[in-house]
Amino acid sequence: MPSPNGRFVASGGVFSADNVRVTSSFAFVRALATPPPAPSRRSSAADSAVKIRQKINCMPKRQIITTKSMNSFDKINNIITSITPIATDEWDLIQNKIEFVAINKNKFYLKENAICNSIAFVESGVLIYYKTLENGNELTTDFAFAGEWVTNNHSRLNNTPSHLNIKAIKNSELLVIKHKDLLELYEKIPRLERFSRILIEQAYLKLVQHSIDLQTISATDRYLKLLTTYPDLFQSVPLYHIANYLGIAPKSLSRIRNSVFSPNK
């Protein structure tokens, strides 16, 4: 089964006029680079450190095609036609449903208990997914970077309140299609449902794999796997969010990083 250009994030996605700025439409982008496979479990942190440093040094960096280098039709054509053919008149219908949304740092794309009503592609920026616990702490469950898709499938597909927040931790730009418009497009372009189905399958597989990793591989290997997928993660996301996502304390994450990247290793 072919996979769409750009990966789908497992949760989240809605916006409101009080915290985002809708500026234009007729835009879509894609990520070219596919994240490399996760490293296998190593017998020691030292072996893992050597291999991860080699892999990071030689892996291709994720590239984003922007509006400066590609017109709207070419972008959407490359994204959707990698899954299913789309005629020119069908693209006209699609582009009329796309809105460009700018979200400032620390503003919300989706708030807990709100119903998700959209799907979005992250053109730039970083967003986090988190749950606020009863003691006031935040439990980070996912990230969304440029080239990834954002939506809370559980809330959006069931029309139920979201159990998660999604917040921009950097100024972010999104390309958004509201769920009601997506349903209308399915009626007019039935082939588009296949594209959406594959995105949902990818989101589900990512969620299941993370759950398995939390239970079956060490914290060091979870860290190395995350770093392989997102080499620039620590330049974009605060350490406590990363530790949270990995299911460890921030101090434990610091020890792992020191062990992996120690000059003596």
Q: What is the pLDDT of residues 222-258, one digit of tens each?
A: 999 998 988 888 888 999 899 999 999 999 999 998 8
Lowest-confidence segment of 47-51, 187-191, 217-221 by average pLDDT: 47-51
What integer is the mean pLDDT of 94-103?
A: 90
Half-sphere exposure at residue 183, Cβ-oriented, CA atoms within 13 angstroms: 7
Residue-level pLDDT at 76:
57
CATH code given to domain 7-260: 2.60.120.10
Residue-level pLDDT at 201:
92
Q: What is the pLDDT of residues 113-141, one digit of tens each?
A: 999 999 998 888 999 999 988 888 889 99
Domains in the chain: boundaries: 7-260
Residue-level pLDDT at 27:
36
Give every CB contact of residue 6 below 8 A, 6+ residues apart in sequence. Answer: 29, 30, 31, 79, 121, 147, 148, 149
Confidence of residue 86 (pLDDT cuts 50, 70, 90): confident
| Number of residues that this document lists for the chain | 265
Confidence of residue 72 (pLDDT cuts 50, 70, 90): very low
Give every CB contact of residue 245 below 8 A, 6+ residues apart in sequence. Answer: 140, 141, 142, 143, 226
* Better pLDDT: 189 or 22: 189
Q: Above pLDDT 90, what percent of the chain?
A: 42
Give every CB contact of residue 173 below 8 A, 6+ residues apart in sequence. Answer: 100, 101, 102, 103, 122, 123, 124, 125
Half-sphere exposure at residue 150, Cβ-oriented, CA atoms within 13 angstroms: 35
Dihedral, CA atoms, 213, 214, 219, 221, nearest 10 degrees? 0
Residue-level pLDDT at 137:
86
Lowest-confidence segment of 22-26, 176-180, 181-185, 226-230 by average pLDDT: 22-26
The yes-or-no verdict on residue 58 having pLDDT over 70 is: no
Give the mean pLDDT of the chain: 77
* Better pLDDT: 53 or 173: 173
* Token couple for 158: 């069931």
